Every structure is written in structure tokens, then in C-alpha cells.
């Protein structure tokens, strides 16, 4: 039912945790199941230098969070905004249809963290 990549990222999630003094933080909840996720980013020269996540959710949510952090690390903010639910699911060799809603959290939390970073920058100006 789950691809090897999903199982790998579920069992050994990458970039779990919190970044102290993060430049951007994004938190979202999944209205379908009530699970929650927070992404933390460090930004340098318009690139995502570091990224970590905390997920209170199912295995698919943890695997998609982990994959999202891997896809986003080192990318420009614009490239990271182009990471979608679908591209995360594709990078994991797909998710069972009933679990596709779980991939919403990761991409949305990433985008929220980038928006939060941009808002903070505006306020500083």
C-alpha cells in the first residue's frame, strides 16, 4: 500500500525538530483529520539554508513532511513556493488516494513559513 520511500521517510524522518530563532515559522492544521504541523526555516541570500519540522500526525503526514524538507533545503524561496502537494507525493512515489489529504499539510506549512519570513522582513523595513 505504501511505497518504500514513504516507509523509509516515516521510519527515519529527516530534519525533525525545531529551529531556535527561525526566520520563518508556518503552522497548519488538517481540517480532514485534525492533525497539525509546524515548519521552521532559516533563510540566507534568498535560499532556504535550514529547515525543520514538527508533525503531530499520521505516518503519511510524517513522511510528506520529511520529504518536503529535503526538497526545500537549498532551494530559493521562489523554487520552494513551487513545491506542491502533488510534487511531494510524486517524490515519494505516490501516496494511497485515501492518504493524499495528508500531503496538504507539508506543502502548506512550508508556504506559510515563507510568507511569515517575508512578513517579518517587511516589518523590519
Q: Which residues form the catalytic set?
A: 33, 102
Q: Cβ closer to ligand FES: 52 or 85?
A: 85
**Cβ 105 to ligand FES shortest distance, Å:** 6
Torsion angles phi and psi, residue 124, rounded to 5: -60, -40
Q: Cβ closer to ligand FES: 27 or 30?
A: 30
Q: Cβ closer to ligand FES: 102 or 114?
A: 102
Q: Which residues bind ligand FES (CB under 6 A)?
A: 30, 33, 35, 57-58, 60-61, 102, 105
**Cβ 49 to ligand FES shortest distance, Å:** 27
**Cβ 77 to ligand FES shortest distance, Å:** 25
Amino acid at each position: 500500500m505504501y511505497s518504500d520511500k514513504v516507509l523509509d521517510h516515516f521510519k527515519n524522518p529527516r530534519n525533525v525538530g525545531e529551529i531556535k530563532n527561525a526566520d520563518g515559522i508556518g503552522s497548519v492544521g488538517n481540517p480532514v483529520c485534525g492533525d497539525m504541523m509546524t515548519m521552521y526555516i532559516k533563510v540566507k541570500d534568498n535560499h532556504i539554508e535550514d529547515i525543520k519540522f514538527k508533525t503531530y500526525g499520521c505516518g503519511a503526514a510524517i513522511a510528506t513532511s520529511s520529504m518536503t524538507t529535503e526538497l526545500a533545503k537549498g532551494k530559493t524561496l521562489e523554487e520552494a513556493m513551487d513545491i506542491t502537494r502533488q510534487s511531494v507525493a510524486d517524490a515519494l512515489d505516490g501516496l494511497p488516494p485515501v492518504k493524499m489529504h495528508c500531503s496538504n499539510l507539508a506543502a502548506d506549512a512550508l508556504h506559510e513559513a515563507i510568507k511569515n519570513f517575508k512578513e517579518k522582513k517587511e516589518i523590519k523595513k
